[in-house]
Amino acid sequence: MESKAMCMYGYCRISQKKQSIDRQIRNIKSAYPSAMIITEAYTGTSIDRKEWNKLFKSARSGDTIIFDSVSRMSRNADDGFTAYEQLFNRGVELVFLKEPHINTATFKTAMEKALPMTGTSIDYILDGINKYLLALAKEQIIIAFAQAEKEVSDLHQRTKEGIETARLNGKQIGLPAGTKLTTKKSIASKEQILKHSKEFNGMLDDTDVMKITGLSRNTYYKYKKELKAEHS
């Protein structure tokens, strides 16, 4: 039976679909041109990251997973380190372009630098030193994930405080009540409603017009209400 060929993956994640993922892809491809890119748009705290879950389960010994930064793997310190340790023990190499000091290759080197035993009473001291060095290496990894988690928490707090400050200063947050947001799509959709709806210039009922415009029920009736107000 043939063994599975070693694979190299580049995992890229954005928190919101409106964000651009191009920078992460560009950074990974620049360093590892042959990497197979896997993209995902989910929040860092989401447990339902389908692409990541598939990659985590399928990765085998000898495979490599590259991240632009540690926060792309996880922004939860406990979950991140647990996944790191499981993949490391499975023989999967992890590469973090912005935090190379926690790459699994670096961690492995730290483990291999263990001081050799002498067969004498001094081994108690050497064993203690080796355990300390290993714990120190693990601590560096945990700190990196914890820092990523803190950055998200700080961002949320700054955003919340900024909104509250703006509100206290009398600034409008979001669109004022009753304000209509006009976009190219809304204009085109309203033109279709005017053209086809029997309540305006057409002969079709609401169900058929919704199919033509592709609008959701709520959006359709919202536009229809606005059109009636405009043409009353």
Q: For position 80, which CATH number holds? A: 3.40.50.1390
81 and 27 housed in the same domain? yes
135 and 191 housed in the same domain? no
Residue 8 confidence (pLDDT)? 96
134 and 220 housed in the same domain? no
CB atoms within 10 A of CB 154: 10
Residue 47 confidence (pLDDT)? 53
Number of domains in the chain: 2
**Residue 211 domain-assigned?**
yes
The confidence band for 229, taking pLDDT boundaries of 50, 70 and 90, is: confident
**Residue 27 domain-assigned?**
yes
**Residue 192 domain-assigned?**
yes
Query: Model confidence over 155-188: pLDDT tens digits?
Result: 667 667 776 776 777 676 565 655 566 777 888 8
What letter would DSSP give residue 93? E
**Tokens coding 165:** 């400050």
What is the residue range of 213's domain?
A: 184-230
191 and 110 housed in the same domain? no
**Residue 40 domain-assigned?**
yes
220 and 137 housed in the same domain? no
**Residue 224 domain-assigned?**
yes
In sequence order, the 6+-apart residues with CB closer than 8 A to the CB of 117 are 123, 126, 127
The confidence band for 2, taking pLDDT boundaries of 50, 70 and 90, is: very low
12 and 77 housed in the same domain? yes
Q: Which residue has the higher pLDDT, 151 or 56?
A: 56
Whether pTM exceeds 0.75: no
Q: Which residue has the higher pLDDT, 17 or 212?
A: 212
Asked if the model's pLDDT at residue 230 lies above 90, the reply is: no
